[in-house]
A = this chain, B = another copy of it.
Amino acid sequence: MLSTTARTRLGRAKHKARTDRSDLYDLLDAALVCHLGVVADGTPMVVPTCYGRIGDTLYLHGSTGARSLRAGGEACLTVTLLDGIVLARSAFHHSVNHRSAMVYGVLRTVTDEQERLAGLRALTEHLAPGRWDAVRPPGPKERAATRVLALALDEASVKVRTGPPVDDEEDLALPVWAGVLPVHRVFGAPETAPDLAFDLPVPDHVAQRAYPA
């Protein structure tokens, strides 16, 4: 279960709240990019970035020079998947089917080299499952240039909207088509790097994700 705090209790649309921890994990595993919000010099800064998950910890990474990826302050990490455009009979009841999660917490700089490597592996595997063991692992200089941050999944809310439009009773008499236009994220045909020096086939871990033509 996701425990509720003042920040994660939905103020409105309470019926859209999901409180199973598995809903949070499913969404985090399905999405590829998150939006990390931090406060820098008193103003909010929202940065898109990749992430990986190990159990109830999210890992982020970035250059040691990046402004946004500083540990210490409060952060809000939001993940959103758009699933459909909800087309109602009235402008007012238009909506989007979506899954979103907001995670609140303080970013922790990971210093233990074993945890840092595990975090980087989770990040790479999240972006490209099966990739880590197929590529050259990070060397000492690369690791020194990379900051790894962790965010505990302790304080989070999940919100989900599914299904058809919900119109006002009196609008059902309007001769207006209503329904949902689904939105999908799909992978296209892999594009081999032009500087590939060998006649290598696209590996299974990449090819099997491509959308069937």
Q: Give the interface of A toward B (CB within 8 A).
A: 7, 11-12, 32-33, 35-39, 42-48, 50, 63, 65-67, 74-78, 80, 82, 84-85, 87-92, 94, 96, 98, 100, 102, 104, 120-121, 124, 127-128, 131-132, 134-139, 142, 146, 164-165, 167, 171-198, 200-203, 206, 209-211
Instruction: Let me know if B194 and A164 touch, CB within 8 A.
Output: yes
- Counted per complex, copies of this chain come to 2
Contacts of A189 in B (CB 8 A): 182
Q: Which 6 A-B pairs give the minimum distances between C-beta atoms? A: A182-B188, A37-B46, A37-B44, A35-B35, A48-B80, A46-B78
Contacts of A42 in B (CB 8 A): 39, 74
**From B74, B181, B191, contact of A206 by CB (8 A):** B181
